[in-house]
Amino acid sequence: MAETVLAVKDLCKTFRKDGVETEAVKNVSFGLSEGEILGIAGESGSGKSTLSRLCMGLIRPDSGEIYICGERLGKDTVKSLRPKIQMVFQNPADTFNPAYSVGAGLMGAGSYLGIEKQLCREKISGLLKTTGLQESVLKRRPKELSGGQLQRLAIVRALLCEPRVLIADEAVSSLDVSVSANIINLLSDLRESLGIAMLFISHDLALIGHISDRVGVMYKGSLVETGAAEELLRSPSHEYTKRLLDARL
Ligand SMILES: Nc1ncnc2c1ncn2[C@@H]1O[C@H](COP(=O)(O)OP(=O)(O)OP(=O)(O)O)[C@@H](O)[C@H]1O
Ligand SMILES: [Mg+2]
C-alpha cells in the first residue's frame, strides 16, 4: 500500500483580530498518499491558504495534528521536516528577492536547506532541464523574467531538496492560459517521474478536475466533501459543491 506522506487530523485555526474571530480552518482531516494529487477547491476566504500554511509549519494550529511521512509536525520538527514538504505560491515574483539574480536566490535556498554548494549547482542544472529552462536565466533578476519562467524557477526551488509533498497554492492563477497549461503539465509529469504527492489548490474546479486524483471542497473553514475527482465533479453530494459547480457554468 502507498505510504501516507501527509496526514492531517482534526486541524483547527482561528484568527483573532480587532475583536473579530475568524474560524479559518475547522476540524479538517485528510490523508495524502505518495504520488497522489489532491485538489482543494473553495471560494475566496474558505481557508485554503491557511490550511497550506499550517501544513508547511508557517503558522501553528490551535489544535489538531499534522504528520509528514509519519512524523508529527511541531515546534521541534518544523525545520527538519521542511525538506520533505515544499510550496509554490500564487505570485511567482514573491518567491525571489528582486535585488539578486535568481541563480543567487536558488543557491541561497539550497544553503538554507543544508545542500552543499557543488551538489546544489548540479541539482539546479538538472531541474532547469526538467522544467524546460535555459541556464542563462540564472543570471537574470526576477523583473527580467516572465511570470511563466519565474513560476518554473519557483518549482525548481521547491524541488531542490527532493520533497515528498508539494503544495501548489493558486500556483497558476496569475499566469495566462497557455503558460498555465504548461505548468500544469509540468506538475503532472513531476508526479509521474518523481512520485511527488501534491496538494493542488485552486478556485478553478475544471482545472482541479483535470489534474487531481481526488478533490476536497472547503467551505467556511470545513472540508465539506472529498471524493474521486471524476465522481465528485459528476455527482457532487454537498449542496455547496453543487453551487460551486453551477457558478462555473
Ligand atoms: N493572518 C490572518 N489574520 C486574520 N485573519 C486571517 C489571517 N489569514 C487569513 N485570515 C482569514 O481567514 C479566512 C481564510 O483565509 P484564507 O486566506 O485561508 O482563504 P483562501 O481560501 O485561501 O482564500 P483565497 O481563495 O482568496 O486565497 C479569511 O476570512 C481570512 O480573512
Ligand atoms: Mg488563498
The counts of H helices and E strands in the chain are 9, 10
Distance 92 CA to ligand 2 centre (A): 14
Domain count, the chain: 1
Residue 123 lies in a domain: no
Per-residue pLDDT of the chain (249 residues; tens, 9 = 90+): 789 999 999 999 999 999 999 999 999 999 999 999 999 999 899 999 999 999 999 999 999 999 999 999 999 999 999 999 999 988 877 889 999 999 999 999 999 888 999 999 999 999 998 888 999 999 999 999 998 899 899 999 999 998 999 999 988 887 788 888 888 888 888 888 889 999 999 988 888 988 999 999 999 999 999 999 989 888 888 888 888 888 765
Q: How far apart are CA 118 and CA 54, in angstroms?
A: 33
For the stretch 114-156, pLDDT in tens is 899 999 999 999 999 888 899 999 999 999 999 889 989 999 9
Q: For ligand 1, atom 11, name the residue with the nearest CA.
A: 24
Distance 228 CA to ligand 1 centre (A): 26
Is the pTM above the cut of 0.85? yes
Residues around the ion ligand 2 (C-beta < 5 A): 48-49
Residue 220 CA: which ligand is closest? 1
Residue 144 lies in a domain: no
Instruction: Output the domain CATH number for residue 91.
Output: 3.40.50.300
Residue 22 lies in a domain: yes
Residue 34 lies in a domain: yes
Q: For ligand 1, atom 28, name the residue with the nearest CA.
A: 45
Residue 103 lies in a domain: no
Q: How far apart are CA 161 and CA 185, in angstroms?
A: 21
Residue 137 lies in a domain: no
State if residue 50 touches ligand 1 by the CB under 6 angstroms criterion: yes
Judging by beta carbons within 10 Å of its beta carbon (0-12, 13-18, 19+), is residue 39 exposed, middle or buried?
A: buried
Residue 66 lies in a domain: yes
The boundaries of the domain holding residue 77 are 4-95+165-248
Residue 220 lies in a domain: yes
CB atoms within 10 A of CB 77: 14
